[in-house]
Amino acid sequence: MHIHKYEKWWLVFGCATLVAFLVILAIGAFHNGTHPNEGKITVDYENVDSIKPFDNPGVHKVEGKEWDYEVVLVASAFSYNPNEIEVPLGSVVKFYATTRDVIHGFEIAQTNINMMLEPGYVSEYVAEMNKAGEYLIVCNEYCGTGHTYMYGTLKVVDENAQNN
Amino acid sequence: MHKTIDEYGKVEEKETALVEKEEKSPSMKQKLTASFIRVDGKDAKLAMAHMYVAFIALLLGGLAGLLQVLVRSGEFTLPLGIKIGYYQVLTVHGILLALILTTFFIMGFQIASISRTAGAFTNVQRKIGWTGFWLMLVGTAAAAAMVLLNKATVLYTFYAPLKAHWIFYLGLALVVVGSWLLCIMQILKYYRWKKENKGQTSPLLTYMAVVNSILWITCSLGVAVEVLFQLLPWSLGLVERVDILLSRTLFWYFGHALVYFWLLPAYMAWYVVVPKVIGGHIFSDALARLSFILFLLFSFPVGIHHQLTEPGIEGFWKFVQVVLTFFVVIPSLMTAFSLFATFEMRGRELGGKGVLGWFKNLPWGDARFLVPFIGMVAFIPGGAGGIVNASYQMNQLVHNTIWVTGHFHLTVATAVALTFFGVAFWLIPHLTGRTLTPKLNYLGNVSGILWGIGMLIMSLSMHLAGLLGAPRRSEYSTYGGAEMAYDWIPYQIAQAVGGTILFIAILVIMYIVVQLIWFAPKGEEEFPVATVAPGAEKTPAILENFKIWGVILVALIVFAYTMPIIDIISNSPAGSKGFMPW
Ligand code: HEM
Ligand SMILES: [Cu+2]
Ligand SMILES: [Cu+2]
């Protein structure tokens, strides 16, 4: 099959760019560990309220782990528990989230924190809070009539600034 | 006796040359064009039946779109008299436009294309086709009834554990089964042609339609398994629980290939019809076929790129599918190259000089060219946005934001939709024995330009709001007065402006279509089919060896999906009961 000279150049250039691009994504994922949520733990979604850690939703300070805080969150139509999360600037936070009913989203607007919450599964994500401010948490998966009334806030607080 | 495509092409070329000269004498034109190769009358009827449904879906779906942008602007609420909620409207919009308009138009166009290039269908084949059409129509009506009764406000992706009425799922199953019959009709015709024309290369349009039929059957198997074995028994109460992650994985195995099912018919028009409209040739028959085969292969082992932020699927396998996703870059680059090469060669033939001088010489006033061309232009940012979406980590920034909605309004709702409209402008009169008059042609251009402008505004503001975090599938909300949500509102107002322009474009298109069906002057409208450039090489026979491609296809699917599916099933939690939170 004949391929025009220019077309060959075009394809070679395109494929080379593609390979370079994929290598960058792969280094990010497998070397720097920037995987999106791939939570592996399963739970009984009908009894989350009595299963650890979801029997105690909220923000918990932890010691001796790779992160400083754990946020344990339960979503249900149409709210998040806890509804307000406050963590200090610079802290590393691990999110554990699940749903008690249908599928919900857990998106912290304008950040990389964005996971699907599916019944029976625990979604997990680790993030560093490196910009102070008040972030809006929204449900970004249609979950019923009250879908857009499902939101919360994440406050990343600069403690030094407050003390001054 | 069947003629080959080359013979057809030659016959036609002579005619157009004469017609161009004799343009001024209408009687002469009548006589000459009367010998254009026409779609068989009975096949035309079947193809037209699909067109009616497709364009009714466009009008109603477009109306739903208009309501959505108005509601989302915050300046307008659904009138109290209408007892229909936002998400019901959105379900209607998604189903009518993404599933019904596309599937019906594609089946009609492919049937006409095969009949035009490989000859009329047999009576038996046509009966299979009509059965398929009626099944699809009954299925559509059943599903629509459930949506209107608010028993299926589950959006067009019907993710469990949202549970619709069982009639809704049954309706969808009928649509899928009906479409299979239509695909079988096309594949049977293809094999018959091959038998009657031993050793010859099949007509390019026929080949492309058959590749897309194979693609459709292969992908809709996924959703058929989901609906027939999971959702239908569950909604009937035969089983209590359903495996959520499995159902989503089956859905997206289907859902991604679905987008190529929409795209390939547009490529049929770009590769074969548009070159003829501008008076040029097919750049390369073999490369066109090769790109279709590559699209077929790479539309399957990739569905998990829609599930990148989901729990329960190993990052490694997500990444494998991301890599495979990007392989479509290759046939896409091939397509872009072929199209621009065709345009440039034709532009130069017409006397265009310099690096870009040829560009001016293209027939910009011809709606059959201009409208699909606007679609091609939209596909460039559409494709670029797709790269962002599929980029593993970057997906987290845009997943389920309105950015994604902006993305597919460029791809399916502009590149594909405008190409379909550009096709309808000649296909409908060809099938109904009327002509696209200069006035209708002009209106066609108006509709394309309006669409381009409206979509530029709507899609751009969707992309920008999405980057600011605005979620998709969401009616108007101030999110408790949150500052971030406040920033989204101007973009939502811009979407309402763009969406209104789009709706006006739809009204213009409906006017043209109605004219072309019932009122335009009787006559002969050409079904443009380009031929390969003179002196082109013969197409390698391996491209028609579907056994080989089938084996590779299955191998790719098995490779990409075996481990993830085993993981999902072996680690699955207890399934979910159904919910109806609407
Ligand atoms: C008048 C023209 C149109 C307007 C104003 C419009 C507007 C919209 C809007 C605002 C949304 C997002 C709503 C939300 O997420 O809350 C949407 C979703 C969608 N649109 Fe359109 N659209 C139009 C035409 C089309 C066309 C021609 C197609 C396909 C061929 C299409 C396919 C879709 C699909 C598949 C969705 C996603 C539905 C969902 O998320 O469930 N639209 N449209
Ligand atoms: Cu929601
Ligand atoms: Cu996809």
pLDDT digits (tens, 9 = 90+) for B208-220: 999 999 999 999 9
Q: Which of B72, B305, B407, B430 is catalytic?
A: B407
Q: What is the pLDDT of residue B24?
A: 38
B2 noted as active-site residue: no
- Backbone phi, then psi, for A114, in 5-degree steps? -160, 110
Could you tell me if A115 and A150 lie in one domain?
yes
- Closest to B175 in 3D by CA, of B244, B223, B214: B223
Could you tell me if A55 and A109 lie in one domain?
yes
Could you tell me if A24 and A95 lie in one domain?
no
Least confident of A94-108, B9-23, B151-165, B311-325: B9-23
Per-residue pLDDT band at B465 (split at 50, 70, 90) = very high
Does B158 contact ligand 1 (Cβ within 6 A)?
A: no
Average of per-residue pLDDT across B507-522: 97
CA distances B356 to B348, B359, B361, Å, are 10, 6, 10
- Backbone phi, then psi, for B392, in 5-degree steps? 35, -90
Could you tell me if A126 and A151 lie in one domain?
yes
Summarised one tens digit per residue, pLDDT across range B72-90 is 998 877 776 566 889 999 9
B473 noted as active-site residue: yes
Q: What is the pLDDT of residue B355?
A: 79
Could you tell me if A19 and A96 lie in one domain?
no
For residue B132, the surrounding DSSP H or E stretch is: helix B123-148
Average of per-residue pLDDT across B292-296: 95
Average of per-residue pLDDT across B245-261: 95
* CA terminus-to-terminus distance, chain A: 73
How far apart are the C-alpha atoms of A80 and A73, rounded to whole Å? 7
Q: What is the pLDDT of residue B522?
A: 94
Least confident of A61-65, B6-10, B159-163: B6-10
Model confidence at B421: pLDDT above 80: yes
CATH number for the domain that contains residue A127: 2.60.40.420
pLDDT above 70 covers what percent of chain B? 93
Residues B128/B167, Cβ–Cβ less than 8 Å: no
Vertex A147: Cα angle to A157 and A110 (nearest 5): 35
pLDDT above 70 covers what percent of chain A? 98
Q: What is the pLDDT of residue B235?
A: 96
How far apart are the C-alpha atoms of B399 and B413, rounded to whole Å? 19
Chain A interface test: which of B400, B489, B569, B570 (most A C-beta within 10 Å): B400
pLDDT above 90 covers what percent of chain A? 79
Name residue A104's beta-bridge partners.
A117
Model confidence at A75: pLDDT above 70: yes
Q: Is the dihedral of CA B14, B15, B16, B21 positive or negative?
A: positive
Q: What is the pLDDT of residue A164?
A: 53
Q: What is the pLDDT of residue A133?
A: 94
Does B93 contact ligand 1 (Cβ within 6 A)?
A: yes
| Residue spans per domain, chain B | 36-474+481-529+549-570
Q: Torsion-angle region of residue B354: left (phi > 0), alpha (psi -120 to 50) or beta?
A: left
Q: Nearest by CB to B479, from A2, A117, A151: name it.
A: A151
Residues B92/B60, Cβ–Cβ less than 8 Å: yes
Per-residue pLDDT band at A3 (split at 50, 70, 90) = confident
Q: A61 or A2: whose pLDDT is higher?
A: A61
How far apart are the C-alpha atoms of A153 and B483, rounded to whole Å? 11
Q: Nearest by CB to B573, from A108, A114, A120: name it.
A: A120
Q: What is the pLDDT of residue B121?
A: 96
Model confidence at B15: pLDDT above 80: no
Q: What is the pLDDT of residue A7?
A: 83
Model confidence at B577: pLDDT above 50: yes
Chain A interface test: which of B155, B282, B393 (most A C-beta within 10 Å): B393
B305 noted as active-site residue: no
Model confidence at B13: pLDDT above 60: no
What is the atom index within ligand 1 of the atom nearest the CA of B474?
16
Least confident of A150-154, B25-29, B182-186, B385-389: B25-29
Could you tell me if A156 and A126 lie in one domain?
yes
Q: What's chain A's Rg over C-alpha atoms?
A: 20
Model confidence at B313: pLDDT above 70: yes
Per-residue pLDDT band at B18 (split at 50, 70, 90) = very low
Residue nearest to atom 26 of ligand 1 (CA): B413
How far apart are the C-alpha atoms of B576 and B101, rounded to whole Å? 32
Per-residue pLDDT band at B14 (split at 50, 70, 90) = very low
Could you tell me if A54 and A111 lie in one domain?
yes
Could you tell me if A23 and A68 lie in one domain?
no
Q: What is the pLDDT of residue B12?
A: 40
Model confidence at B5: pLDDT above 70: no
Q: What is the pLDDT of residue B8?
A: 39
Amino acid occupying residue B270:
W
Summarised one tens digit per residue, pLDDT across range B332-345 is 888 888 898 889 88
The count of structural domains within chain A is 2
B260 noted as active-site residue: yes
CA distances A159 to A87, A152, A162, B74, B95, Å, are 10, 21, 5, 37, 50
Model confidence at B395: pLDDT above 90: yes
- Closest to B249 in 3D by CA, of B560, B472, B473: B560
* Cβ distance of B311 and A122 shorter than 8 Å: yes
Select from B56, B91, B97 the residue to mutate for testing ligand 1; criterion: most ligand atoms less than 8 Å from CB. B97
Does any domain span residue A40? no
Could you tell me if A63 and A4 lie in one domain?
no
Model confidence at B373: pLDDT above 50: yes
Q: Does B317 touch chain A (CB under 8 A)?
A: no
Does any domain span residue A140? yes
Residues A92/A100, Cβ–Cβ less than 8 Å: no
Its domain, for residue A53, covers: 45-163
B positions 507-566 inside 8 Å of A (CB): 537, 540
Summarised one tens digit per residue, pLDDT across range B95-153 is 999 999 999 999 999 999 999 999 999 999 999 999 999 999 999 999 999 999 999 99
Global pTM value: 0.92
B positions 396-415 inside 8 Å of A (CB): 396-397, 399-401
B300 noted as active-site residue: no
Average pLDDT, whole number, for chain B?
A: 90
For residue B561, the surrounding DSSP H or E stretch is: helix B546-570
Q: What kind of architecture, by CATH, is found in domain B36-474+481-529+549-570?
A: Up-down Bundle (1.20)
Q: What is the pLDDT of residue B81?
A: 58
Model confidence at B17: pLDDT above 80: no
